[in-house]
């Protein structure tokens, strides 16, 4: 009886995983054939201690196989991924990291690369990723502390990407900081080439 229960649980998990991969594949199918992608980006910085959120407009540029740049405030603020290398420019300060050396960015880099290539298989064997679908929206949550024996001070507590399965576009990218602080990018007007 115990074996049967374990088998049923394992089978259920496989079915859920298959369905999530199918949802992901559908949501990113346009990216699979595009060499470049451009969109309008709007960044909102929310600080719990400040009454008004800061809102900046710019562009999202994606190039296959593993490049992404979000540029707002006429280039003064950026988030750039080039393979495993990440550069973030915020308030004039440049922060650099690499997902091969900084495990906090492993899942983030894996999800972005899977989106850019339209390939859910790139997420196999990457821990700390959870997917949930509600209507046409697929939400992908990433835990940057996953697999760490000892949690160290981190710039972000989680990353969340929402994909519009019907339109085949990235809806939002949210980087949750300490407390209730976050930076969220929303995207529109996609052009796939």
pTM for this model (two decimals): 0.87
Distance CA 69, CA 115 (A): 14
- Calculate mean pLDDT across residues 123-144: 93
Alpha carbon 115 to chain centroid distance? 8
Where does the pLDDT of residue 7 fall: very low under 50, low under 70, confident under 90, or very high at 90 and above? very low
The neighbour count for residue 15, using CB atoms within 10 Å, is: 10
For the chain, list the domains and their CATH numbers. Answer: 2-192 (2.50.20.10)
pLDDT at 14: 38
Give residue-wise pLDDT tens across range 36-71: 999 999 999 998 888 789 899 999 999 999 999 999
Q: Which residue has the tokens 């509600």?
A: 134
User: Of the ranges 22-26, 122-126, 145-149, which one carries the lowest mean pLDDT score?
Assistant: 145-149
* 121, 130 Cβ separation under 8 angstroms: no
């Amino acid at each position: 009886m115990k074996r049967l229960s374990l088998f049923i649980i394992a089978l259920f998990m496989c079915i859920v995983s298959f369905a999530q991969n199918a949802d992901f594949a559908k949501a990113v199918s346009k990216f699979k054939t595009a060499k470049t992608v451009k969109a309008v980006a709007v960044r909102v910085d929310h600080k719990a201690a400040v009454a008004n959120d800061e809102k900046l407009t710019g562009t999202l540029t994606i190039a296959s196989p593993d490049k992404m740049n979000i540029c707002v405030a006429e280039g003064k603020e950026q988030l750039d991924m080039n393979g495993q290398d990440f550069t973030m420019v915020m308030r004039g300060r440049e922060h650099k990291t690499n997902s091969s050396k900084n495990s906090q960015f492993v899942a983030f880099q894996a999800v972005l690369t899977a989106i850019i290539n339209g390939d859910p298989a790139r997420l196999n064997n990457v821990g700390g990723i959870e997917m949930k679908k509600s209507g046409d929206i697929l939400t992908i949550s990433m835990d940057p502390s996953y697999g760490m024996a000892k949690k160290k001070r981190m710039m972000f507590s989680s990353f969340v990407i929402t994909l519009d399965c019907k339109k085949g576009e990235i809806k939002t990218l949210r980087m949750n900081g300490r407390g209730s602080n976050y930076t969220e990018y929303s995207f529109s007007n996609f052009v796939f080439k």
